[in-house]
C-alpha cells in the first residue's frame, strides 16, 4: 500500500490484483449460486412454498400469451366471484425477468422449461447481488472490503433463506435491485456524473418493478441527503445524485401499474419530495454564496433563508393538509405497521396473522446473520474513520435496516446486505491494520526486541496499539473484562487512525499478535461462519414446504401429500369447480390443480377472507350455506394431526376466527377459547367442537388409532365420533395431510313434498341428529 515502488511495479501489481479480484468475484458468484442448490439436490427441482407458485403461474401466462395480454390479464380463477386484475396488481419485475431469461435462452436454442428458469432465477440473481455488493463496498472502502462483503453476502443465511433454488419470489431479484441501486447512488455521489444518475434511476425503476420494498430506497436516500445537508456535507455531486433521481424515479415508478399514481399520492413518497425542495433551496444558497462576496452574502443569507423558510412552511402546510385529508393519513397498512409495530396487531389481523410479519426473536438474528452480528459494530466504527459521504450512507443503511428487521422478521432480508457490507469493511480494515504492522516489522528483524518491549507494555504508545486489535477481534470472540475501558479508549483511537499514514509507526501491533489475529480472521471466523451458512443452506432453508421429509428411527419419510391432493383435484373435479380453503393454499390450488379458488395469498379483500374464515368457524349448516352461496363445490383443509405437521389449519384456526370476527361480529374469539386457552381436547368449548374446521379436520380421525391422538397438539381430541351432515369426504391423502370434502347438494324439496311419506321425513330429521347411513341431502 504505502510502499514506494517504481511506477512500473505498481501498475503490474495493480493489473495482477485486478485479474485476481476478477477471478475471486467469479468464484464468489459460483459459490453464491451453488450454495443455493441444496434444495434441488436434496429434494428436486421444484417451486417452493406459496407465493412462488403464483409467480410461476404468472410467468407461464406471460411466456404463453405475451406481454400485452399479461398487462391486461383478468384472472377469473381466483377470488371467485370477484376475480383479480393480475396485470395491474403484481410487481412485474420478477416475472418479466424470468420471462426474458426464458425467451433469451429459447431464442438461443436452449430449450428449458419455464419451471426450470423459475427455479434457478433466485440463485442466479444472488450471484448478481454479491457482485453488486462488491461494487457498492468498493465505492465505500476499496476493493478489499468489496471482495470480503461479496463473499459474505454470497453465503449469509438470511439471504439464502429467500433465494434458494425454487424460491421464486420477488425478493429473489429485489435484493439485487436494492443493492445495485444503492451502488449506483454511491457511484453518482462519488463521481457526480449524470450518466450514473440515469442508470441509478433505471435501477430504481427495476426495484420498483420488483418489490414493494422500493419505498425503503425512496425514504433512505432522502434521509441520507438530508443528513448530508444537515451535517454540512452538501456538494454539487449530492445534487446531481439526488435531484434527477427524484424526478426520473417518480416518473418511472408511476409507469408501473401497481404503483401508478401512488408514486405521487401516498406519504411513503412525500419525504423524497420534501428533501427535493430542501436540496434546491440549499443548492441555491450555495450558488449565491459562490457568486457573492462574503460580506454581501451575510446580507443575502437572511433574505434568502427567510424566503426559503416561508416556501418550506407553505409546502409543509400543503402536504400536511393533503395527508390529513386521507383517512389512513396516506400511509398504507404495511408501512404503518413498520412505523408503529403495534399497529398491525391492533387494526389489521390479516397482516399480523402472517408469521413472517412477526417481530424476530434474538436467536433468529444469530441464525440469520451469525458472526456478522458481532462484526457490524466494528464495521460502523471503521465507517467513521474517515467519514465520507459514501460511508455515512452505509451507516444510515445499517441503522435503519436494523430497526426494520426488528419490526418484521421478513425484513431481516434488508438487513443482510447492510450487515455484510459493514462486516466486510470491518474485516478488511482489521486485516489491513494487521498486515501493515507485519509489513512494518518484517524488513528489520532487529525490531523484534522493541516488539517484545511493546508486548510487555510500559510504552506510551501501547494503549494506542492495543486498541484496534481489541476493537476488531475482541468484538468477535474474546470477552474482555474491561468493557468500559475499551469504550473509553475507542474515542481517542479514531482520531489518530484518520491520520494513519502519518502515525503508522504508532499503530504497529506486536508481530505475533497480528499473525495470530490474521490467522484468526482469515481462517477461523470465516470457516466457523461458513460451516454455519452451509448448514443453514442445507438443513434449515432448503425445504420446499410442499414436499416434507422427516427422519425417524426407520429411515427417511417423504410426505408428498400436497401434490397428491392437488393432482387429485385436477383429475377428478370439473374444470370450473370452485375450491374453498384458507387463503394460504389459494395460490397452490390455482397453480397446481388449476381450479378456481375463493381466496388466495394475495390478501387484497379482507371481507372475502373474513367470509371464508366465518364459514370455517361456523357450525356445519351455516358454513354450508355460506359456501353454497359462493358456489363452492369442494372444501380443502390441511390437517397435520396424524403426522405431526405443525402449520396446519387447526393451528391457524384462531386467525380465521379473528379475521372472520373482525368483519362478522357474531363470531367471537372467546367462544373458541376455554379460559383463554386454545384447546381441542375434551375441555374445548362446544362452539369449537362444532365448528366446521374442527369437524373437517377430525372427521373419522378416531379410526386411525382408535383414540384420536393429535400429534401436533399432543392430546386426544375432544369429540371423536361424529358424522357430517352437509359435507362428504371425497379424498384424504396418504398421510391425511390434505383432506378434501364435497358439499352435499341441497335437499330436493319438490320430491320431499310429493312423497308425503311421514315415516321417511321423520327419519330424515332424526337421521340428521343420529347420523345414520341414510343421507338426508341426497
Partner 1 sequence: MVKPSSSSSSTSQDALALFNSLRSAYSATPTALKIIDLYVGFAVSTAIIQVVYMALVGSFPFNSFLSGVLSCIGTAVLAVCLRIQVNKENKEFKDLAPERAFADFVLCNLVLHLVIMNFLG
Quick one: 236 or 748, whose CB is closer to partner 1?
Answer: 236
Quick one: 241 or 533, whose CB is closer to partner 1?
Answer: 241
First CA to last CA distance, the chain:
88
Quick one: 246 or 521, whose CB is closer to partner 1?
Answer: 246
Quick one: 12 or 251, whose CB is closer to partner 1?
Answer: 251
Neighbours of 306 (CB within 10 A): 10
Quick one: 26 or 251, whose CB is closer to partner 1?
Answer: 251
Query: CB 244 → partner 1: shortest distance, Å?
Result: 6
Query: CB 200 → partner 1: shortest distance, Å?
Result: 11
Helix or strand (DSSP H, E) at 354 = none
Quick one: 54 or 214, whose CB is closer to partner 1?
Answer: 214
Quick one: 252 or 517, whose CB is closer to partner 1?
Answer: 252
Half-sphere exposure of 17 (CA within 13 A, CB side): 11
Quick one: 110 or 293, whose CB is closer to partner 1?
Answer: 293
Quick one: 198 or 628, whose CB is closer to partner 1?
Answer: 198
Angle between helices 194-210 and 170-191 (to 10 degrees): 160
C-alpha cell at 232: 454540512
Query: CB 236 → partner 1: shortest distance, Å?
Result: 4
User: For 387-452, where are the E strands, in sequence order?
Assistant: none
Quick one: 238 or 638, whose CB is closer to partner 1?
Answer: 238
Name every residue whose Cβ is closer than 8 Å to that of residue 111 and which is 6 or more positions away in sequence: 105
Query: CB 254 → partner 1: shortest distance, Å?
Result: 6
The answer to whether the CB of 588 falls within 8 A of the CB of 50 is yes
**What Rg do the C-alpha atoms of the chain give, in angstroms?**
31
Question: Would you say the C-alpha torsion 338, 341, 342, 346 has a positive or negative sign?
Answer: positive
Query: CB 207 → partner 1: shortest distance, Å?
Result: 16
Q: What share of the chain is helix, strand, coil (3-state, %, to 5)?
A: 65, 5, 25
The answer to whether the CB of 476 falls within 8 A of the CB of 526 is no
Query: CB 195 → partner 1: shortest distance, Å?
Result: 5
Q: Distance (Å, rounded) from C-alpha 50 to C-alpha 587?
A: 6
Q: Distance (Å, rounded) from C-alpha 638 to C-alpha 652?
A: 10
Query: CB 201 → partner 1: shortest distance, Å?
Result: 7
Query: CB 595 → partner 1: shortest distance, Å?
Result: 37
Q: Closest Cα to residue 283, out of 245, 208, 244, 229?
A: 229
The answer to whether the CB of 254 falls within 8 A of the CB of 265 is no
Quick one: 257 or 406, whose CB is closer to partner 1?
Answer: 257
Quick one: 312 or 354, whose CB is closer to partner 1?
Answer: 312
Name every residue whose Cβ is closer than 8 Å to that of residue 282 and which is 6 or more positions away in sequence: 229, 234
Q: Distance (Å, rounded) from C-alpha 305 to C-alpha 286?
A: 11
Name every residue whose Cβ is closer than 8 Å to that of residue 115 and which is 6 or more positions away in sequence: 45, 47, 56
Query: CB 132 → partner 1: shortest distance, Å?
Result: 21
Q: Cell match 435462452: residue?
A: 105
Quick one: 226 or 402, whose CB is closer to partner 1?
Answer: 226
- The residue length of the chain stands at 778
Question: Would you say the C-alpha torsion 534, 539, 541, 542 has a positive or negative sign?
Answer: positive
Quick one: 255 or 765, whose CB is closer to partner 1?
Answer: 255
Query: CB 88 → partner 1: shortest distance, Å?
Result: 14
The number of angstroms, rounded, from the C-alpha of 124 to the middle of its chain's C-alpha atoms is 17
Quick one: 236 or 607, whose CB is closer to partner 1?
Answer: 236
The answer to whether the CB of 368 falls within 8 A of the CB of 412 is yes
C-alpha cell at 224: 441520507
Query: CB 194 → partner 1: shortest distance, Å?
Result: 4
729: left (phi over 0), alpha (psi -120 to 50) or beta: beta
Chain residues that interact with partner 1, rule: CB under 8 A: 192-195, 197-198, 201-202, 235-237, 239-240, 243-244, 247-248, 250-252, 254-255, 261, 264, 283, 288, 290-293, 296, 299-300, 302-304, 306-307
DSSP character at residue 339: H
Quick one: 15 or 318, whose CB is closer to partner 1?
Answer: 318
Q: Closest Cα to residue 411, out of 372, 360, 366?
A: 360
Query: CB 290 → partner 1: shortest distance, Å?
Result: 7
C-alpha cell at 303: 433574505
Q: Distance (Å, rounded) from C-alpha 75 to C-alpha 354?
A: 24
Quick one: 240 or 411, whose CB is closer to partner 1?
Answer: 240
Q: Distance (Å, rounded) from C-alpha 406 to C-alpha 410?
A: 10
Q: Distance (Å, rounded) from C-alpha 313 to C-alpha 304?
A: 14
Q: Distance (Å, rounded) from C-alpha 48 to C-alpha 97?
A: 18
C-alpha cell at 180: 445495485
Q: Closest Cα to residue 635, out of 624, 644, 643?
A: 624
C-alpha cell at 698: 377430525
Distances, alpha carbon 103 to alpha carbons 45, 109, 114, 408, in Å: 20, 10, 9, 36
The answer to whether the CB of 521 falls within 8 A of the CB of 434 is yes
Neighbours of 505 (CB within 10 A): 8
Quick one: 19 or 251, whose CB is closer to partner 1?
Answer: 251
Query: CB 319 → partner 1: shortest distance, Å?
Result: 15
Q: Closest Cα to residue 521, out of 463, 481, 471?
A: 471
Amino acid at each position: 500500500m504505502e510502499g514506494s515502488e517504481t511506477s512500473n511495479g505498481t501498475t503490474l501489481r495493480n493489473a495482477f490484483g485486478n485479474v485476481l479480484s476478477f477471478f475471486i468475484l467469479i468464484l464468489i458468484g459460483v459459490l453464491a449460486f451453488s450454495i443455493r442448490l441444496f434444495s434441488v439436490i436434496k429434494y428436486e427441482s421444484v417451486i417452493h412454498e406459496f407465493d412462488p407458485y403464483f409467480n410461476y403461474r404468472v410467468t407461464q401466462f406471460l411466456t404463453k400469451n405475451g406481454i400485452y395480454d399479461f398487462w391486461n390479464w383478468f384472472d377469473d380463477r381466483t377470488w371467485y366471484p370477484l376475480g383479480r386484475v393480475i396485470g395491474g396488481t403484481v410487481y412485474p419485475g420478477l416475472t418479466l425477468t424470468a420471462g426474458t431469461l426464458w425467451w433469451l435462452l429459447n431464442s438461443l436454442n436452449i430449450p428449458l422449461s419455464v419451471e426450470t428458469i423459475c427455479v434457478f432465477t433466485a440463485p442466479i440473481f444472488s450471484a448478481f447481488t454479491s457482485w453488486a455488493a462488491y461494487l457498492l463496498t468498493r465505492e465505500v472502502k476499496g476493493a478489499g472490503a468489496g471482495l470480503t462483503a461479496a463473499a459474505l453476502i454470497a453465503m449469509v443465511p438470511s439471504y439464502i433463506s429467500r433465494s434458494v433454488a425454487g424460491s421464486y419470489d420477488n425478493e429473489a431479484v429485489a435484493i439485487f435491485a436494492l443493492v445495485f441501486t444503492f451502488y449506483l447512488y454511491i457511484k453518482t455521489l462519488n463521481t457526480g456524473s449524470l450518466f450514473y444518475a440515469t442508470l441509478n434511476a433505471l435501477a430504481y425503476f427495476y426495484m420498483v418493478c420488483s418489490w414493494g420494498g422500493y419505498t425503503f430506497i425512496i425514504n433512505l436516500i432522502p434521509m441520507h441527503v438530508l443528513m448530508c445537508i444537515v451535517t454540512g456535507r452538501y456538494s454539487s455531486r449530492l445534487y446531481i445524485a439526488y435531484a434527477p433521481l427524484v424526478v426520473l424515479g417518480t416518473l418511472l415508478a408511476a409507469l408501473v401499474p401497481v404503483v401508478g399514481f401512488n408514486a405521487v399520492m401516498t406519504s411513503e413518497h412525500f419525504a423524497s419530495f420534501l428533501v427535493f425542495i430542501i436540496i434546491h433551496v440549499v443548492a441555491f444558497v450555495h450558488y449565491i454564496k459562490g457568486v457573492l462576496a462574503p460580506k454581501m452574502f451575510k446580507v443575502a443569507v437572511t433574505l434568502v433563508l427567510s424566503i426559503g423558510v416561508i416556501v418550506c412552511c407553505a409546502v409543509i402546510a400543503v402536504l400536511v393538509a393533503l395527508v390529513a385529508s386521507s383517512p389512513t393519513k396516506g400511509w398504507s397498512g404495511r408501512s404503518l405497521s413498520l412505523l408503529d409495530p403495534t399497529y398491525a396487531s391492533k387494526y389489521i389481523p390479516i397482516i399480523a396473522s402472517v408469521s413472517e410479519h412477526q417481530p424476530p426473536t434474538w436467536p433468529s438474528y444469530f441464525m440469520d446473520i451469525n458472526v456478522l452480528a458481532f462484526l457490524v459494530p466494528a464495521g460502523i466504527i471503521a465507517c467513521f474513520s474517515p467519514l465520507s459521504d459514501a460511508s455515512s450512507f452505509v451507516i444510515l443503511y445499517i441503522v435503519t435496516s436494523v430497526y426494520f428487521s426488528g419490526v418484521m422478521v421478513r425484513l431481516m432480508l434488508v438487513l443482510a446486505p447492510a450487515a455484510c457490507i459493514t462486516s466486510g469493511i470491518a474485516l478488511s480494515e482489521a486485516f489491513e491494520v494487521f498486515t501493515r504492522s507485519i509489513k512494518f516489522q518484517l524488513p528489520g528483524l532487529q525490531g523484534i526486541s522493541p516488539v517484545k518491549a511493546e508486548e510487555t507494555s510500559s510504552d506510551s504508545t501501547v494503549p494506542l496499539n492495543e486498541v484496534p486489535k481489541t476493537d476488531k477481534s475482541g468484538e468477535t470472540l474474546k470477552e474482555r473484562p474491561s468493557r468500559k475501558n475499551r469504550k473509553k479508549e475507542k474515542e481517542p483511537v479514531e482520531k489518530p487512525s484518520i491520520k494513519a499514514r502519518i502515525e503508522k509507526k504508532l499503530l504497529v501491533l506486536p508481530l505475533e499478535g497480528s499473525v495470530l489475529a490474521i490467522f484468526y480472521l482469515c481462517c477461523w471466523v470465516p470457516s466457523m461462519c461458513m460451516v454455519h451458512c452451509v448448514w443453514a443452506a442445507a438443513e434449515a432453508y432448503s425445504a420446499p414446504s410442499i414436499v416434507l421429509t422427516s427422519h425417524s428411527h426407520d429411515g427417511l419419510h417423504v410426505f408428498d401429500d400436497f401434490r397428491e391432493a392437488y393432482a387429485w383435484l385436477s383429475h377428478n373435479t370439473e374444470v370450473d369447480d370452485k375450491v374453498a380453503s384458507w387463503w394460504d393454499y389459494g395460490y397452490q390450488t390455482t397453480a397446481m390443480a388449476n381450479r378456481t379458488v375463493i381466496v388466495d395469498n394475495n390478501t387484497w379483500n379482507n371481507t372475502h377472507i373474513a367470509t371464508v374464515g366465518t364459514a370455517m368457524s361456523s357450525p356445519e349448516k351455516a358454513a354450508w350455506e355460506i359456501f353454497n352461496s359462493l358456489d363452492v363445490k369442494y372444501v380443502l383443509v390441511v390437517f397435520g394431526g396424524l403426522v405431526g405437521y405443525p402449520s396446519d389449519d387447526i393451528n391457524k384456526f384462531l386467525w380465521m376466527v379473528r379475521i372472520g370476527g373482525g368483519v362478522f361480529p357474531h363470531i367471537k374469539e372467546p367462544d373458541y377459547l376455554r379460559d383463554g386457552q386454545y384447546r381441542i381436547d375434551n375441555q374445548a368449548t362446544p362452539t369449537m367442537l362444532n365448528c366446521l374446521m374442527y369437524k373437517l379436520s377430525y372427521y373419522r380421525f378416531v379410526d386411525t388409532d382408535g383414540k384420536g391422538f393429535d400429534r401436533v397438539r399432543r392430546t386426544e381430541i375432544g369429540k371423536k365420533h361424529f358424522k357430517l351432515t352437509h359435507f362428504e369426504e371425497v379424498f384424504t391423502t396418504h398421510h391425511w395431510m390434505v383432506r378434501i370434502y364435497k358439499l352435499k347438494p341441497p335437499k330436493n324439496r319438490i320430491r320431499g313434498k310429493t312423497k308425503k311419506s311421514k315415516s321417511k321425513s321423520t327419519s330424515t330429521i332424526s337421521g340428521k341428529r343420529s347420523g345414520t347411513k341414510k343421507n338426508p341431502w341426497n
